[in-house]
Amino acid sequence: MFNVLKGTHDVIKDEALKYSYIEETLTNIAINYGYEEFRTPVIENSELFTRSVGDSSDIVRKEMYTFDDKGGRSITLRPEMTAGIVRSMVNAKLFAMQDFPVKAFYCGPNFRYERPQQGRYRQFNQFGVECVGVSTVERDVETIVLGYHMLQFLRFRDLKLLINTLGDEETRENYKKALKEYFGQHIDEMCNDCKERYKLNILRILDCKDPDDRPIIDKAPKITDYLSDAARERFEKIKEYLTKLEIPFEVDSELVRGLDYYTGVVFEFHYTSSNGNNYGAIGAGGHYGNLVKEIGGPDIEGVGFALGIERLAKIMEDDQLFPEINRNVEVYVMPIGEKAVQKAVEIAFELRLDFFRTEVCYEKKSMSALFKKAERKNAKFAVIIGEDELKDNTVNVKNMLTKEQVNISMQELPSYLVEKLDQNEHQHEHSCECSCCEGEECEHDDCDCDNEEGHCCCHHKHDCNKA
């Protein structure tokens, strides 16, 4: 027996469908905002991360899966995706075209050797965006708004948005001096990690999770008191925009994020599910001033964020935020006898070409066992082929809901099913089955419905067949 490695997990069946739902929904929104998809390798040169995420970050110091490949190169399984995405933009010379911003969205697995706990894995999936090549404050706002919009769309209502700024060079220099002075008086009482952070990158101390250190950290100087005029003005503008757009936020002056490349605004989205579960930030990001230059690109800035798919899925499960996803079989083909099995292969082939969700039982079973199987699969129709049907080239079709049974020719089968399936859908009295509409009448074709709050949430392919 082999088990999954500690901190990793299999995503199978319904759960995988839910991940796909999240990814598909986020993809549609990212495309609406003008982002294009990027897919980059899971393995990268280790130096990419030591340079970008930073030598002093916990990720680089303790959490990277790094190994030498057979050619003696130091390789790392990506612990985050921004560095690889920006590297790909540099490699593809996208910045040479000067058509800024370059906007990328991406989705995929990341690897961090962390202590596994609720919502924290060693392999986890992120969906993220990067908007690179511009430094206007409006791009920062647009990016935060996109994250907020995505989460609203997934029906995260009581969302907590925390924001802070890491200011500009001048701000950080002054602030670091103040922190050195303050923590210099307390560092002997703090954890070993903080002692290390004190030497390597003092800002990281603010990120310490050790409860014994928190009272000291809570009394530390706040960056908001050290902002240069330019940095203060920029941060004020961001707050003004968010207020104007009615996006609720809180300023958290201890928010520094675990990656060294951030400068300027940083933000996190938090959510506590109704049963009290909090899996940590569900998404986070910020502005980066030096990252592009640091990894070989021009001196341009960027802003982005990533959402954690595992955490989103857990909360959506807890709070039942997933819409009903209909995977029920439409047609269950039941051949009786060897010859009928051969016919069933052909019938299933045709039905599937016509996009009926079709299943067949090729295995020998009694009629009652076959019907039980059809019921378990919530099949709408059973198509029975026995010796008599083979002889006169017909099939018996049983409506599993109404129990009505008819004998029709094989040729008629597809059109019969189309007509009857439509009728089956109409038995819902034209009310949308997806949970967002909560039984309200859905007015749009293909269920592109707007729910009360004006968000369409019918990207999944359910069976709502409104005209």
Q: Which stretch binds ligand AMP (CB under 6 A): 167-175, 213-221, 302-310, 350-358?
A: 302-310
How many angstroms separate the Cα of 10 from the Cα of each of 252, 292, 310? 35, 35, 11
Alpha carbon distance 310, 290 (integer Å): 30
Q: Which residue is nearest to ligand AMP (CB)?
A: 308
Binding piece for ligand AMP, criterion CB under 6 A, among 36-44, 69-77, 116-124, 143-151: 116-124
Q: Which is it for strands 250-251 and 265-270: parallel, antiparallel or unpaired?
A: unpaired
The correct pick among 85, 205, 284, 300 for binding ligand AMP (CB under 6 A) is 284
- Using the minimum distance from each CB to ligand AMP, give the nearer residue, 48 or 374: 48
Q: Which of 428, 416, 429, 458 is nearest to 331 (CA)?
A: 416
Distance CA 358, CA 349 (A): 9
Choice between 38 and 381, CB closer to ligand AMP: 38
Under rule CB under 6 A, which residues in 305-334 are in contact with ligand AMP? 306, 308, 310-311
Query: Which of 129, 213, 125, 231 shows the shortest CA–CA distance to 170?
Result: 231
Residue 124 in the binding site for ligand AMP (CB under 6 A): yes
CB of 289 to ligand AMP, least distance (A): 17
Nearest CB to ligand AMP, comparing residues 126 and 394 = 126
Q: How far is the CB of 284 from ligand AMP (least distance, A)?
A: 4
Alpha-carbon gap, residue 64 to 49, rounded angstroms:
9
Distance, CA of 279 to CA of 12 (rounded, Å): 21
Cβ proximity to ligand AMP, 154 vs 284, nearer residue: 284
54 interacts with ligand AMP by CB under 6 A: no
In the shown chain, the binding pattern of residues 341 to 380 toward ligand AMP, with x for contact by CB under 6 A and - for none, equals: ----------------------------------------
Site for ligand AMP (CB under 6 A): which residue of 84, 108, 167, 283? 283
Q: Is the peptide bond before 221 cis (omega within 30 degrees of 0)?
A: no
Cβ-contact 116, 219 below 8 angstroms: no
Q: Work out how close the CB of 218 gets to ligand AMP at its nearest, in angstroms, rounded to a whole number.
A: 22
Shortest approach of ligand AMP to residue 114 CB, angstroms?
Answer: 5
Other CB atoms within 10 Å distance of the CB of residue 397: 20
The yes or no reply on residue 382 touching ligand AMP (CB under 6 A) is no
Taking the complex as a whole, how short is the minimal distance between the CB of residue 311 and ligand AMP, in angstroms? 4
Q: Which of residues 64-83 bind ligand AMP (CB under 6 A)?
A: 80
13-32 helix and 137-153 helix, angle to the nearest 10 degrees:
140
Looking at beta carbons only, is 74 or 118 nearer to ligand AMP? Answer: 118
* Continuous segment of H or E residues that includes residue 162: strand 160-165
Query: How crowded is residue 16: how many other Cβ atoms within 10 Å of its Cβ?
Result: 12
Give CA–CA dist 175/253, Å, rounded: 12
Residue 63 CB, nearest distance to ligand AMP (Å)? 8
Question: Which residues within the stretch 214-273 sit at the binding site for ligand AMP (CB under 6 A)?
Answer: 258
Pick the closer one to ligand AMP by CB: 78 or 466. Answer: 78
Q: Which amino acid is at 187?
A: I
Closer residue to ligand AMP (CB): 281 or 291: 281
Q: How far is the CB of 83 from ligand AMP (least distance, A)?
A: 11
d(C-alpha 409, C-alpha 392), whole Å? 8
Region for 359 from its dihedrals, namely left if φ exceeds 0, alpha if ψ lies in -120 to 50, beta otherwise? beta
Residue 215: helix, strand or coil by DSSP? helix
* Interacting residue ranges for ligand AMP, rule: CB under 6 A: 80, 112, 114, 119-121, 124, 126, 258, 281-284, 306, 308, 310-311
